Amino acid sequence: MSRTPLVAGNWKMHGSTEMTAGLVAEIAAGAANLAGVEVLVCPPYPYLAQAVSLAGSVSVGAQDVCDQAGQGAYTGEVNGAMLKDIGCTHAIIGHSERRQFYGDSNELVAAKFIATQAAGLVPVLCIGEMLEERESGNTENVLAAQLDAVVQAAGIEAFADAVVAYEPVWAIGTGKTASPEQAQEVHAFIRGRLADKDATIAARLRILYGGSVKPGNASELFGCPDVDGGLIGGASLKSEDFLAICQAGAGA
Ligand code: PEP
């Protein structure tokens, strides 16, 4: 089963109109010369429309979305329809920083996943264990609970049009990366758990790795059979580094 790798940049809370203009233009120019990889950038909300206008063949996504599909009295929220309206194609859901700092429970993440798809966007569902969970041998239990909550709410069919990102929390922004063996082991577990429900959907699903991916380690990680690209934080803020990682995706 061949899956086109996806390399997605999560800018987190970094940006300005000046930075967006430079970074997106550089990434779009570089990505135009790459075949065999899809590239996605996810700036903060205020810069999404600007990014769309500059992105060329690069897709643009949001870093979060409201769990409510319709318009209404939800002050401060942005729904999927608004993101679709301005040209976004994806939304990151359940990033560990949302889960840790903003109370995104497994149930809320599942509702956001459903709302994202209802708007015609592709959810990039993030799951991952904390260091103490890994050290106490609970990695698979944590990932299963995060995954199952979405499968139960949305149905396995919903994964035909979704992306999963495995992001061990201990590797995000820390400079510590999962080894290719660790990443492959977890990715195979995720795919296997979904294959128990639908083998075809699981075989087609792209599962990204995220956590301190850099130009120097991307090829090795993306070379693992169940790793289909990456979700990139810090290194997505420098076009040269991000494009080198996209290049590694193209070569995987
Ligand atoms: C992320 O923000 O999802 C991430 C993986 O960050 P970093 O690449 O900086 O670890």
Q: Does a structural domain hold residue 212?
A: yes
Check: pTM over 0.95? Answer yes or no.
yes
Is the distance from CB of 139 to CB of 133 less than 8 angstroms? yes
Is the distance from CB of 58 to CB of 31 less than 8 angstroms? yes
At 193-239, the pLDDT tens digits run 999 999 999 999 999 999 999 999 999 999 999 999 999 999 999 99
At 17-48, the pLDDT tens digits run 999 999 999 999 999 999 999 999 999 999 99
Which residue's CA lies nearest to atom 2 of ligand 1? 233
Q: Does a structural domain hold residue 11?
A: yes
Q: Give the CATH number for residue 46.
A: 3.20.20.70
Task: Please report which confidence band the pLDDT of residue 1 belongs to, taking 50, 70 and 90 as the band edges.
Answer: low
Supply the range of the domain harboring residue 25: 6-93+107-227+240-250
Q: Does a structural domain hold residue 1?
A: no
- Mutate which of 97, 213, 214, 217 to test ligand 1's pocket (most atoms within 8 Å of Cβ)? 213
Query: Residue 144 pLDDT more than 80?
Result: yes
Q: Does a structural domain hold residue 77?
A: yes
Q: Does a structural domain hold residue 99?
A: no
The Cα-based distances of 223 to 23, 160, 183, 237, 249 in angstroms read: 27, 23, 11, 23, 9
How many domains in the chain? 1
Which residue's CA lies nearest to atom 6 of ligand 1? 233
